[in-house]
Amino acid sequence: MVGLKDVARDTGLSIRTVSRVMTGKGAVSERALAKVMESATRLGYRPNRAARSLKLNQSYEVTVILSGIDELFMEKVYFMEKALRESGYWVSLLMAESGAESSNDIPAIIEEALDRRPAAIVIRGGIEREIAKIEDSGIPYLLIDSMYSYDSVNINRSQGVYDAVKYLHSTGRRKIAYAGMGEPENQANMSRLPGYIKAINELRLFPEMLSGNTVLSAEQFENGRYVAHQIDLERSPDAIIAYSDFMAMGLLAGFYDRKIRVPDQIAVVGFDDRPAASRSAPPLTTVRQPNKEVGLKAAEIILKKIAGEAAPEGGWTCALPTTLVVRETS
């Protein structure tokens, strides 16, 4: 592998001068610069990152901890990786068991992440229980899609649901229910409910909370189907806003089973806008997560934290806006 030394020998200049050219720090004569550049490209010089890391005592690695596989989160990672790469950082992956929120896999994964001494650690919301350990380590970290009050990039789910209610009302629906996962008061529901309540109040409607079978709450699709089967046709709502696209698709399946027509008899709105949402029958009206914006914002904050920039009041945190995607279930 060709290093500084080789370029130095080739140009007849000193290592120091070649280094100055490469880092762009320090004054170098026109002539030397041209010579070094030519030689470096001709020889195919590639800086040794290990040596640089050692010397500078800093890593260029941002470790992302994944729990399970989620297309939406990967989309966020996609934009984040791209942005971080442009700033010279690498993204490395640490994959925990699927549904690891409650897994004992997580402490070990966090230990591993710390051992690697990355420049920063990114964690998907839902597994933040152990975050204190990371905070203590001093390594910059960032949560994505968290519901807790650590440094994080979030989505304004409440606003998404608010918009959905307002939209459904504008199309003539008057009995608009919210179908959540498990207990109404759990974190996931709580991040959506304020928007629902607010919109319902503003429109002087009555709130209705549909709750899935808590035993089944691990499977969103089944939960949605379950809710669809439970609904009383006589006094049923004329619109349902679901906790997620998966749940909404379960509702669709349940209504299909019962030959209830969507959207004629009842409208269904999902949440997330997963790729699958456009392929359901009928294609799902849903609230789109701003994946690109989240990824970019995450990269921005990570870079600032690495650079040691002081956190704004209340810490690094933001809630990015969603957009409503109207398809054929409403």
Partner DNA sequence: TTGTAGGCGTTATCAG
Partner DNA sequence: CTGATAACGCCTACAA
Residues that bind DNA (CB under 7 A): 1, 3-5, 13-17, 19-20, 22-23, 25-32, 45-48, 51-52, 54-57
Name which of DNA, a copy of itself, none residue 234 binds, using a CB cut-off of 5 to 8 Å depending on partner kind: none
Rounded Cα distance between 210 and 268, Å, is 13
Q: In what order do the strands lie in the sheet with 285-288?
A: 209-211, 176-180, 239-242, 267-272, 285-288, 323-325
Cα of 319 vs its chain's centroid, Å: 12
- Report residue 63 as tokens: 């470790």
As a 3-state breakdown, the chain gives helix, strand, coil percent values, each rounded to 5, of: 45, 15, 35
Least distance to a copy of itself, CB of residue 99, Å: 13
Least distance to DNA, CB of residue 134, Å: 21
* 324 beta partners: 287
Taking CB under 8 A as the criterion, the residue among 61, 128, 163, 272 binding a copy of itself is 61
Q: Are 127 and 108 in contact (CB under 8 A)?
A: no
Q: Give the residue with the Cβ less far from a copy of itself, 152 or 291.
A: 291
Range in contact with a copy of itself (rule: CB under 8 A) among 30-38, 70-78, 178-186, 298-306? 70-78
Q: Give the residue with the Cβ less far from DNA, 28 or 239.
A: 28
Taking CB under 8 A as the criterion, the residue among 127, 181, 188, 253 binding a copy of itself is 253
Least distance to a copy of itself, CB of residue 258, Å: 12
Taking alpha carbons only, the member of 178, 145, 186 closest to residue 267 is 178
Least distance to a copy of itself, CB of residue 315, Å: 26
Least distance to DNA, CB of residue 307, Å: 15
Rounded Cα distance between 277 and 268, Å, is 12
Q: Give the residue with the Cβ less far from a copy of itself, 69 or 215.
A: 69
Reported for 42-47, long-range contacts at CB under 8 A and 24+ positions apart, including other chains, are: 42/10, 43/2, 43/6, 43/7, 43/10, 44/2, 45/2, 45/3, 45/4, 45/6, 45/7, 46/1, 46/2, 47/22
Q: Are 180 and 210 in contact (CB under 8 A)?
A: yes
Q: Give the residue with the Cβ less far from a copy of itself, 21 or 96.
A: 96
Please report, as residue ranges, which positions from 80 to 109 form the binding site for a copy of itself (by CB under 8 A).
Answer: 81-82, 85, 90-95
Taking CB under 8 A as the criterion, the residue among 24, 27, 30, 69 binding a copy of itself is 69
Query: CB-based contacts of 295: which residues, under 8 Å, 6+ apart?
Result: 75, 76, 77, 78, 79, 80, 81, 82, 83
Q: Is 48 in the site for a copy of itself (CB under 8 A)?
A: yes
Q: Is 117 in the site for a copy of itself (CB under 8 A)?
A: yes
Range in contact with a copy of itself (rule: CB under 8 A) among 7-15, 63-71, 122-130, 178-186? 63-71
Helix axes 30-43, 4-11, angle to 10 degrees: 120
Count residues near a copy of itself (CB under 8 A): 42
Q: Interface residues with a copy of itself (CB under 8 A)?
A: 1, 46, 48-51, 53-54, 57, 59, 61, 64, 69, 71, 74-75, 77-78, 81-82, 85, 90-95, 112, 114-117, 221, 246, 249-250, 252-253, 256, 276, 279, 281
